[in-house]
């Protein structure tokens, strides 16, 4: 099932604005791992239990997340767990394609046993391929990479590239001894660049999500999830990984985009004013590497679009964050009209189609043939 995106970008008033989504989510079935893994592993895979007030997520016997029930219940559009209903939701909201991140799969990076991590990650990738991607051409998932053993990570990256995956999912949070800028990841970046697989980091992963319970907690906690995303960009740019791999692209999903050119300026200032301490030296300024290789997605932020004109940073993607509460389900068209009112058509095209199709060229092909 495919749908025509408007041939002219100038939408008549009231005509639907079509967009790709650079940040959506799959909601995994409860039996994803129990139906695919031997019992000795399935019993330790991510599972959630609903208590009086909280939904608790356990991995390998330990609690790794706790969400207020009514918060989790609020994230339930009709298509959350039903692919056919999801495609109907996409048509209603005006979404052409979605790169759909994990939900429960986000917790795999918390697993500390390499065998369990590898089995759970591979099972998630097989499920996404068989149950979602092979059934239609508008929703595709970034593959989960088992991170505990880099050689094994490279093997899974090569396997999923062969299977047709178009991106790799990474958690923003990581322990200091395995920080993303360290050379230990070099084989992984080499493989991802050679296989043209963008690194798709998503906020709110790899660490605690509720870090403060005082006044303003919900707003503080939400904003706090942006900071590890900034750290990913600074480490992969200043550490030289993106400079060494100029064809490697980095997407930071759901962290907003207005801060990206600003962090480029901060890094340029450090690179110049603290030049005597800078290691490694880079072949380009940090802000140039960011402009050429770093992409970011937002849902509602006005600043994400405003910065494009003023800073010439345009690797900005819009995302529906479907079916999560922070997304635009139910008010996508109103959001797109509000965000893009009086915005240059070329900039709107870039944010709603161009950046996405640059990151995921295969979708450009299907979008072009949409009839
Ligand atoms: C993937 C992460 C995003 C976040 C965390 C929230 C607001 C709160 O009673 P208490 O101890 O829970 O504290 C009360 C308080 C109101 C302070 C606290 O509950 O802040 N609640 C909701 O959990 N905020 C920061 S936002 O982490 C990035 C965005 C919201 C959805 C999010 C939590 C999703 C993500 C991401 O890893 C997950 C997942 C499967 O879907 C949701 C939940 C779970 C975590
Ligand atoms: Mn998201």
Q: Across 114-271, where does the E strand assignment appear? A: 139-140, 143-144, 168-171, 199-202, 250-253
| pLDDT value, residue 212 | 97
Q: Give percent above pLDDT 70 in the chain.
A: 95
Would you say 319 and 297 are in contact if contact means Cβ atoms under 8 Å apart?
yes
| pLDDT value, residue 233 | 98
Three-point CA angle 16, 19, 22, nearest 5°: 155
Site to probe by mutation for ligand 1, drawn from 101, 210, 224 as the one with most ligand atoms within 8 Å of Cβ, is 210
| pLDDT value, residue 2 | 44
Q: Across the chain, where does the E strand assignment appear? A: 19-25, 47-50, 54-59, 62-68, 95-101, 139-140, 143-144, 168-171, 199-202, 250-253, 294-298, 316-318
Domains annotated for the chain, with CATH where assigned, are: 19-44+79-370 (3.20.20.140)
Q: Is the CB of 74 under 6 A from ligand 1?
A: no
Give CA–CA dist 137/123, Å, rounded. 21
pTM of the model: 0.95
Asked if pLDDT for residue 272 goes beyond 90, the answer is yes
Which run of H or of E encompasses 219?
Answer: helix 217-224
Tokens 């591979």 -> residue:
122
Asked if pLDDT for residue 176 goes beyond 80, the answer is yes
Q: pLDDT band at residue 370, thresholds of 50, 70 and 90?
A: low
Asked if pLDDT for residue 367 goes beyond 70, the answer is no
- How many CB atoms neighbour CB 67 within 10 A? 17
**What region does 276 belong to: left with phi over 0, alpha with psi -120 to 50, or beta?**
alpha
Residue 139 CB contacts under 8 Å (≥ 6 apart), including other chains: 24, 26, 83, 86, 87, 90, 97, 98, 100, 132, 133
pLDDT tens digits for range 178-211: 999 999 999 999 999 999 999 999 999 999 999 9
Mean pLDDT of 129-150: 98
Give CA–CA dist 226/135, Å, rounded. 34
Q: Which atom of ligand 1 is nearest to the CA of 71?
A: 22
Asked if pLDDT for residue 42 goes beyond 50, the answer is yes
Report which DSSP code applies to 4: P
Would you say 355 and 319 are in contact if contact means Cβ atoms under 8 Å apart?
no
Mean pLDDT of 318-329: 96
Mean pLDDT of the chain: 94
Q: Is the CB of 106 under 6 A from ligand 1?
A: yes
Report which DSSP code applies to 120: H
**Ligand 1 geometric centre to CA of 65 (Å):** 9
**Ligand 2 geometric centre to CA of 169 (Å):** 12
**Ligand 2 geometric centre to CA of 279 (Å):** 34
Tokens 């801060």 -> residue:
259
Q: SS3 of 19, please?
A: strand
């Amino acid at each position: 099932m495919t749908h025509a995106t408007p041939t002219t970008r100038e939408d008549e008033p009231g005509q639907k604005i079509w967009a790709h989504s650079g940040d959506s989510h799959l909601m995994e079935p409860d039996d994803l791992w129990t139906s695919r893994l031997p019992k000795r592993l399935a019993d330790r895979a991510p599972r959630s239990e609903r208590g009086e007030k909280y939904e608790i997520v356990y991995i390998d016997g330990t609690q790794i997340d706790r969400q207020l029930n009514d918060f989790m219940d609020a994230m339930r559009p009709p298509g959350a767990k039903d692919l056919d209903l999801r495609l109907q939701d996409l048509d209603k909201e005006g979404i052409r394609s979605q790169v759909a991140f994990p939900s429960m799969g986000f917790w795999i990076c918390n697993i500390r046993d390499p065998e369990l991590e590898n089995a759970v990650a591979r099972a998630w990738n097989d499920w996404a391929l068989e149950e979602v991607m092979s059934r239609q051409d508008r929703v595709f998932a970034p593959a989960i990479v088992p991170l505990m053993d880099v050689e094994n990570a490279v093997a899974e990256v090569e396997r999923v590239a062969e299977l047709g995956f178009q991106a790799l999912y990474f958690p923003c949070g990581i322990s200091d001894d395995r920080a993303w800028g360290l050379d230990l990841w070099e084989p992984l970046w080499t493989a991802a660049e050679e296989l043209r697989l963008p690194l798709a980091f998503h906020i709110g992963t790899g660490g605690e999500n509720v870090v403060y319970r005082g006044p303003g907690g919900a707003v503080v906690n939400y904003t706090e999830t942006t900071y590890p995303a900034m750290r990913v960009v600074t480490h992969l740019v200043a550490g030289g990984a993106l400079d060494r791999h100029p064809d490697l692209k980095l997407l930071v999903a759901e962290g907003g985009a207005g801060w990206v050119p600003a962090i480029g300026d901060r890094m340029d200032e450090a690179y110049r004013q603290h030049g005597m301490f800078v290691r490694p030296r880079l072949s380009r300024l940090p802000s140039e590497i960011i402009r050429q290789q770093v992409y970011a997605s937002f849902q509602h932020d006005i600043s994400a679009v405003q910065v494009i004109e003023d800073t010439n940073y345009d690797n900005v993607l819009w995302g529906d964050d479907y079916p999560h509460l922070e997304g635009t389900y139910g008010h996508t068209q109103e959001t797109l009209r509000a965000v893009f009112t009086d915005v240059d058509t070329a900039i709107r095209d870039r944010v709603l189609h161009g950046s996405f199709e640059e990151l995921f060229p295969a979708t450009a092909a299907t979008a072009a043939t949409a009839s």
